[in-house]
Chains A and B, each alone.
Chain A
Amino acid sequence: MMASAVLAPSLPRRAGALSWQRLLRSTNLVIGVTVLILVVASAVFAPQVAPYSPIDQAFTDQLKPPSLTHLFGTDEFGRDIFSRVLHGARVALVIGVLADGIAAALGVFLGVISGYMGGRVDALVMRSVDVMLAFPYLLLAMIVVAILGPSLTNAMIAIGIVYTPQFARLVRGAVLAIKEQEFVEAAGAVGAGITRILSRHVLPNIVSPIIVMATLTVGFTIVETAGLSFLGLGATPPTPEWGSMLATGRSFMLTAPWIATFPGLAILVTVVGFNLVGDGLRDLLDPRLRGRH
């Protein structure tokens, strides 16, 4: 145990050791984090900031264009789009992050088992991953929603499942590389059990690629769940969800274009934020990529 404790911290984690100066020098990261702070703040403080209820209908205010009373205009039920977009940030972030969490958790589990056990387990898991990757992702998500039934929670689970294979592959590769390292062998030699080896020695050393991937995929999981809602397979009315707001906006595109414009813009800004942070983290944590962009 002593030997493994001494040897363990000597590997790539060091390469990822970050200083504030380096973090601040990454323009992508700084802009991305700023954008995300704004998005998260609007989600957290939506009830305080939003001037109107996101659900209450006001039939005297139907389809009003953007003005000082309604910054982003109103929809066909007279609901304030600005308030709905703010509340939509809550739904998007919670659902997107949870879907990403499902994908990461399942993927890490499968990847670690597959990479560490090897042999038949590895073959079985990897062939299953191949099968899942053989589906265009939205079709796979649609099958899952067809089985579970359309709802926002099920859309989230579906997207989580769809992104699992990517995490599983990444983690398996990382585990394969790390398990041959001497400190892992040493841990085994001094009698550490498999759970201890995996949790104390293997997992901590593959955290950075997982974090980068998770950050990069949150943007996609948000877009994908919004896509399922847009198709009618996710959020149901009157939930203020960006995808379903866009679907409604499509019907009023020529008469009230603001209904579809602002939720779309909200998705774009959020995803740009996550992509910038993901790219920034990748450049910082992966020394091989540094300076290439």
Chain B
Amino acid sequence: MLKYIAGRLGQLVPVLIGISILVFFGMHLVPGDVAQLLLGDKGTDADLQRLRHQLGLDQPVYVQYARFLIGALHGDFGVSLRTRQSAIWEIGQGLPVTIELSLAALVFAVVFGLVIGVLAARRPHSLVDTTAMIGVLIGVSMPVFWTGILLLLVFGGILGWLPLGGILEGGMTFRRVTGMSLVDGVLTGNAPVVQSSLRHLVLPAVALGATSMATIARMARSTMLEVLHLDYVRTARAKGVGERRVVSHHALRNALLPVVTLVGLQLGLLLSGAVLTETIFALPGLGRLAITSVLARDYPVVQGVVIIAAGIFVLANLLVDVLYAYLDPRIRYG
């Protein structure tokens, strides 16, 4: 198992280097360099040259890339052109919000996706199955930004049950441990923060997780349908095991494998969806930072956000692969 993990980690190195090359040279293609953007309309040509020298922009491009790579490895992506804060500090503020949102969405998607998929598979072509599959089709086709707006309108606006955005009620603060308000609320035993975080997290998590939930439900249904017809399930039934136990103990375990792979694929979807969800629900996360920075041409932050997000995505996929290899020994030795 360790050998497998080491091998997979080794494969990551070229991918991560590729990501850094793409981001670095991509940003180099953008018209106007950082020094010009920093100075704006102010400053003479001499100032510009001095700043370019200070930032190392007068060096050959491969030297600049090497410096960028070394900086990135140390978590130094430069200074935000918009706020003049270090880019990594800005990312550090946004990252926990996005992680908390994505995890909440993932939990929602997996739990509800599995339940719906299994219920539908137990009675194929019944009313439950047909309704679930129509729901799944709509879920897969609904753009996350529209789902978010509708949820806000109904539960925030018309019914007034849940807040219209943000991560906590105005004026509420919490002691930062991880930066995730819900987790920190639990860790520090702060009940009002936990309650407020939950109320603020529900709608964005449902909006973000809806598409993944539908995809997981569809996959769970089709694998369950396959597994339920296999010999070992028939044997379990024949020896008198109750239907509920057959589904939960015998069938579900094997039907879970493709779902695990699917969860890995959903991560990219969730991180992408986070950009839109955070915009709609005014959450100060990494996605919102990314879009603000792109619109403000704040390239140091864009570079940082993209590299960190891609790194997390790649590592999370590795985690899913390892989990998969753990669940299915054929992969480890294949």
Q: CB within 8 Å of B: which residues of A?
A: 127-128, 130-132, 134-139, 142-147, 150, 219, 223, 226-227, 230-233, 243, 246, 249-250, 253-254, 257, 260-261, 264, 267-268, 271-272, 275-276, 292-293
Residues A246 and B149 in contact, CB atoms below 8 Å apart: yes
Give the docked Cα–Cα distance between A130 and B313 (Å). 12
Shortest beta-carbon distance, B147 to chain A, in Å?
9
Listed A/B pairs (18) with beta-carbon separation below 8 Å: A134-B18, A134-B314, A135-B19, A135-B309, A135-B310, A136-B310, A139-B275, A139-B290, A142-B275, A143-B23, A143-B26, A146-B299, A226-B143, A226-B145, A230-B276, A243-B145, A260-B146, A272-B138
CB-CB under 8 A from A260, the residues of chain B are 146, 149, 153
CB-CB under 8 A from B22, the residues of chain A are 131-132, 143
Residues B272 and A136 in contact, CB atoms below 8 Å apart: yes
Given contacts A131-B22, A226-B143, 9 further A-B contacts (CB under 8 A): A137-B268, A150-B295, A219-B141, A223-B143, A226-B145, A233-B295, A264-B150, A272-B137, A292-B222
Residues B30 and A146 in contact, CB atoms below 8 Å apart: yes
Query: DSSP class of B's interface residues: helix, strand, loop or mixed?
Result: helix
Give the docked Cα–Cα distance between A135 and B269 (Å). 10
Q: CB within 8 Å of A: which residues of B?
A: 14-16, 18-19, 22-23, 26-27, 29-30, 137-138, 140-146, 149-150, 152-153, 157, 222, 225-226, 267-269, 271-273, 275-276, 279-280, 290-291, 294-295, 297, 299, 302, 305-306, 309-310, 313-314
Also in contact, A146 and B294, with CB within 8 A (given A138-B275, A250-B149): yes
Give the docked Cα–Cα distance between A231 and B294 (Å). 10
Give the docked Cα–Cα distance between A249 and B152 (Å). 12
Residues A136 and B29 in contact, CB atoms below 8 Å apart: no
Query: Which of B138, B275, B294 is within 8 Å of A268, CB to CB?
Result: B138
Shortest beta-carbon distance, A30 to chain B, in Å?
15
Most A CB contacts (10 A, CB to CB) among B138, B268, B269, B309 go to B268
Give the docked Cα–Cα distance between A226 and B145 (Å). 9
Shortest beta-carbon distance, B208 to chain A, in Å?
12
Most B CB contacts (10 A, CB to CB) among A142, A219, A253 go to A142
Query: Which of B141, B280, B299 is within 8 Å of A271, CB to CB?
Result: B141
Also in contact, A127 and B294, with CB within 8 A (given A139-B310, A230-B276): no
Residues B145 and A230 in contact, CB atoms below 8 Å apart: yes
Also in contact, A264 and B15, with CB within 8 A (given A139-B310, A219-B141, A253-B157): no
Most B CB contacts (10 A, CB to CB) among A143, A260, A272, A292 go to A143
CB-CB under 8 A from A271, the residues of chain B are 141-143
Query: Which of A134, A147, A232, A249 is within 8 Å of B15, CB to CB?
Result: A134
Give the docked Cα–Cα distance between A226 and B16 (Å). 30
CB-CB under 8 A from B149, the residues of chain A are 246, 249-250, 253, 260, 264
Give the docked Cα–Cα distance between A145 and B305 (Å). 15
Most B CB contacts (10 A, CB to CB) among A146, A231, A254 go to A146
CB-CB under 8 A from B15, the residues of chain A are 127, 130-131, 134
